[in-house]
Chain A
Amino acid sequence: NAGVTQTPKFRILKIGQSMTLQCTQDMNHNYMYWYRQDPGMGLKLIYYSVGAGITDKGEVPNGYNVSRSTTEDFPLRLELAAPSQTSVYFCASTGYSNQPQHFGDGTRLSIL
């Protein structure tokens, strides 16, 4: 049981480039989340999804887009990368909103 899998684990981007952070889970969870963790801070919610085809913004959505075409996958898209998006990104999922979230191992993204 792989749980939540994020790829890549580490990436360096140039300013203005675009990329997609991949997240997939094999637990048939309805709820999925993207967080970012800046140095010395806790995690902040970027986007979330309550099921295939349904997504919504979290606290810090600017500069990002998401899609949820299947229950398993919840990719996060960065358009026109900016230095302020340098962070560690976590994907998480849960079967029900009252259950603990399962986290992926994170993606460390640096934008130079």
Chain B
Amino acid sequence: AQTVTQSQPEMSVQEAETVTLSCTYDTSESDYYLFWYKQPPSRQMILVIRQEAYKQQNATENRFSVNFQKAAKSFSLKISDSQLGDAAMYFCAYRSTNYGGSQGNLIFGKGTKLSVKP
């Protein structure tokens, strides 16, 4: 079974600075998807960025980028020019491309709480 580990329960960053959130995962599959979701206090689950494992190029979305290391099974999220609105819980999630079993469901890490200091 696949697992997702986020080893940083809490992180803090100064406004306008850069922060990196860590995520590792365990799988025997060669093709899969990885996601970062943001959950602000409103508890909405907001997709930040996604990465297909077959793509070597790291995904970017504006100030958000990932460092995807497939061999190391690592998927970190970098937030540049941090803003107060970035304060939230961030969840790393894995999804299999395997059509057997739970089809398309997400496997989540426990999350990292990010604080942004003005």
Contact = CB atoms under 8 A, between A and B. Distances in A.
A62 B43 CA distance: 24
Interface stretch (B13-21, B57-65, B75-83, B105-113): B105-113
B87 to A, nearest CB: 17
Given A88-B43, A100-B50, A94 B108 contact: no
Contacts, number: 63
Contacts of A94: 104
A106 interface: yes
Nearest to B103: A97
Interface stretch (A15-23, A42-50, A66-74): A42-50
Chain B interface, >50% SS class: loop
Interface in A89-112: 90, 92, 94, 96-98, 100-101, 103, 105-106, 108
A44 B108 contact: yes
B106 A101 contact: yes
Contact of A41 (B43, B50, B110): B110
Given A42-B91, A100-B47, A105-B44, A31 B104 contact: yes
B4 A90 contact: no
A94 B105 CA distance: 10
Nearest to B111: A42
Interface string B84-115: 00000001010101010011111011110000
Contacts of B110: 40-42
Contact of A58 (B4, B33, B102): B102
14 contacts: A33-B105, A40-B110, A40-B111, A43-B91, A44-B108, A45-B106, A48-B104, A48-B105, A59-B102, A90-B45, A98-B97, A101-B104, A103-B44, A105-B43
Interface of B: 4, 33, 35, 42-45, 47, 50, 91, 93, 95, 97, 99, 102-106, 108-111
Given A43-B91, A101-B106, 7 more contacts: A41-B111, A42-B4, A43-B45, A88-B43, A90-B45, A100-B50, A103-B44
